[in-house]
Chains A and B, each alone.
Chain A
Amino acid sequence: MTVESQQTIPTSAPPPPPPPEHREGSSAAMRASFSTPLASVIVVIITVLWTIPILGLLVTSIRPQKDVASSGWWTFFTHPTFTLENYTNVLGGGGSGGSGGLAPFFINSFIITIPGALFPLALASMAAYALAWVPFRGSTFIFFAIFALQVVPLQMSLIPLLQLFNNNFTIFGIHIPTPVLSGYSAYLPVWIAHTMFALPLATFLLHNFISQLPRALFEAARVDGASHFLIFRKIVLPLSTPAIASFAIFQFLWVWNDLLVALTFAGGSNNAPLTARLSQLTGAFGSKWELLTSGAFIAIIVPLIVFFSLQRFFVRGLLAGSVKG
């Protein structure tokens, strides 16, 4: 494990699962003291149990509608039947009782998630640099204030923020005019809300990393007359890539999987992401399991791809961010 990755995680977060030959720490004695084939058997059983729910989802989503409704998905293994019709139906809206397909919502998820991850990342890395390497009075105070904001659950912000975004904000009976954000782009409220909610954690984590960069680099750059802007672009950003990548992945998945912010700031409309739409359809589709399972699989396939391809960064980022409010 590199020094950088340790700095990425301020918590007790672990390194990614190390390859067996690099095992360290727990000694042979300790392993031997419990080591039984029983341990492996239990782990294998639980792993299988943990995987069955997702397997059931996948299998159901590729079975024809009449089979899904009339027999359990486990009969697939004795009577395999296969179709992709559920996916074309659920994406395109066929067979869903006129409620439209999921394809536009799938697109919405990307449209919401990409800026929802990039905006806070840019602003937080700038703030983190200022707090770490631009000395000024009140620096510590602002750092702690941002740090402390992590304890505010986002439920505390929903009502006032929605009023503000909709030009419906009054104090002491006086209406404070504010721009109606959705007038510019229907996605603007949800992008800004995600940016705001991500900032405390993002600033804190990136500050941890950026403040650990070698002081000599900054001093040399200053002596050469480099501005803060040049230092930020040429030194901070390139050297912070591991921390930025970890947080980017965490934030991407957080926004992709989010329901509460989406329902509040993009809910019910044509601009809702998959999570909001699926949650709604769970009631509407009732027992149309072939559609619900294929819809859910479409929603989880993106995080799963990210998970299996970027597992290292993913585990780091997710654990570092597990305290997000």
Chain B
Amino acid sequence: MSVPHLSTAVLSTNFVADSIPKFTQMLIALAVFFAVILLIFFLAARARGKAQTPLALLIFLGPAVVLLLIGLVMPAIRTISLSFFNADSNKFVGGKNYGWAFTDPDMRKILITTVLWLVVAPIFATSLGLMLALLIDRMKHESVPKSFMFMPMAISFVGASIIWKFIYDYRDPSNAQIGLLNQVVLWLGWKNPPNWLLTQPLNNFLLMVIMIWVQTGFAMVVLSAAIKAIPSDVIEAASLDGATGVRLFRTVTVPMIRNTLVVVFTTILIAVLKIFDIVRTVTGGQFGTQVLSNEMYNQTFALYDNGRGAALAVVLFVGVLPVMTYNVVQLRKERANR
């Protein structure tokens, strides 16, 4: 182990000095927030008579409603209107931004890449998750593999991206390798592997692997629970009728968990449609890997084109809307069935 050097000493003094005001800010914010709530509660609890209920509503519901109006409703309306204006939002341009979004050659490529993501990643993650859920259902110590496969879901996409960018690291075959993927294919006898992250369209699939790595555990845990919830008499009746193995799976298991399958699939679909962190961290959207959500961010915050940025946000919204509506309605139905 090496001797800790100068940076450690610098770290300890500056670091503490810098951190104290930050924690002070946080503690003041928390103290003020909760003190105000408690004070209002204390005062309002003394109200008597007719004003009681309206006052309680105002205090309990008011803050959430106001924050939602300012934070989501008003901005959504404004984003829609901004999407019909130019970059500086001072000239009405009609549908020009949308025309650009669907006809510009670069944008087309971005949309195609996004659709490719939408087709590949959710299908792989869901079917792999389903397969694992079925296999795991037959194991004695299922919680251990479940925990490990679910683990990627706990860490950030940024962390996952760094982990995988390292795996995809490319070096010329004549050098010692540090990227696992390149080393494995060299061991397997591939003499001249491509420079992974620079090769189109291969790099898009490599990025999707990160998403699949993260989402498979989620799919597996949810589907595994659904499989366990199938009443055992259904399975027994089916097996008395001679259904076994794949046939049992196809005719009984899958139909019984169909709703859950759809919810898992659509949930991953939405996550993929909004994928941002992975592309941004691994390639920055270069080398033909740009996707809708990251381009929206770039147009807005790198190119300062509020019109185009807003138009892309609306495209994203319209894409998410049907799937999300379905999901949310589905959630409600399941709740009603309880």
Contacts and interface: CB of A to CB of B under 8 A. Distances in A.
Interface of A: 6, 10-15, 17-20, 23-27, 29-31, 33-36, 39-40, 42-44, 46-47, 50-54, 56-57, 60, 64, 68-74, 82-85, 88-89, 91-95, 101, 103-104, 107-108, 111, 114-115, 118-119, 122-124, 126-127, 129-131, 134, 136, 142, 146-153, 155-161, 164, 170, 173, 185-188, 191-193, 195-197, 199-200, 203, 208, 227-230, 232-233, 253, 256-260, 263-264, 275, 278-279, 282-283, 287, 289, 292-293, 295-296, 299-300, 303-304, 306-308, 311, 314-315, 318-319, 322-323, 325
Contact of A126 (B5, B53, B63): B63
B324 A47 contact: no
Interface string B271-297: 000101100111010000000010011
Q: Is the interface of A mostly helix, strand, loop or mixed?
A: helix
A231 to B, nearest CB: 10
B68 A146 contact: yes
* Most chain B beta-carbon contacts within 10 A, residue among A230, A287, A319: A319
Contacts of B71: 157, 161, 192-193, 195-197, 199
Contacts, number: 434
Contacts of A10: 331-332, 334-335
B84 interface: no
B281 A279 contact: yes
B50 interface: no
Contacts of A114: 26, 30
28 contacts: A12-B226, A12-B334, A26-B228, A35-B138, A50-B152, A53-B160, A56-B180, A72-B180, A73-B178, A88-B7, A88-B11, A92-B11, A107-B22, A118-B30, A123-B64, A142-B61, A151-B320, A152-B317, A170-B89, A227-B44, A257-B155, A257-B158, A260-B297, A278-B158, A278-B281, A315-B150, A325-B320, A325-B324
* Most chain A beta-carbon contacts within 10 A, residue among B65, B78, B178, B313: B178
Nearest 10 A-B pairs (CB), nearest first?
A: A14-B225, A196-B71, A94-B7, A257-B156, A92-B7, A92-B11, A130-B60, A27-B232, A127-B64, A160-B75
A160 B78 contact: yes
Contacts of A50: 148-149, 151-152, 213, 216-217
Interface stretch (B93-101, B139-147, B188-196, B199-207): B139-147
Contacts of A229: 41-42, 44-45, 56, 59
A47 B136 CA distance: 11
Nearest to B266: A323
A202 to B, nearest CB: 9
Interface in B158-182: 158-167, 169, 176-180
Contacts of A300: 154-156, 159
A316 B334 CA distance: 16
A146 B66 CA distance: 11
A188 B72 contact: no
Given A12-B259, A127-B60, A127-B61, A283 B163 contact: no
B331 A74 contact: no
A145 to B, nearest CB: 8
Contact of B60 (A126, A259, A283): A126
A267 to B, nearest CB: 8
Interface in B101-159: 132, 134-159
B16 to A, nearest CB: 10
A321 B157 CA distance: 17
Contacts of A191: 29
Nearest to A27: B232
A31 B138 CA distance: 5
B6 A115 contact: no
Nearest to A108: B22
Nearest to B54: A136
A282 B274 contact: no
A69 B163 CA distance: 16
A26 B33 contact: no
* Most chain B beta-carbon contacts within 10 A, residue among A93, A95, A192, A227: A227
A155 B296 contact: yes
Q: Is the interface of B mostly helix, strand, loop or mixed?
A: helix
A159 to B, nearest CB: 6
B228 A24 contact: yes
A197 B331 CA distance: 19
Given A26-B137, A107-B22, A303-B154, A149 B68 contact: yes
A278 B74 CA distance: 32
Contact of A157 (B63, B79, B217): B79
Contacts of B276: 259-260
Contacts of B159: 257, 275, 278, 296, 299-300
B267 interface: yes
A101 B178 contact: no
Given A13-B222, A279-B281, A155 B313 contact: yes
Contacts of B221: 14, 17, 315, 319
Given A11-B334, A196-B71, 8 more contacts: A14-B226, A17-B224, A43-B139, A50-B216, A92-B8, A93-B7, A126-B63, A229-B42
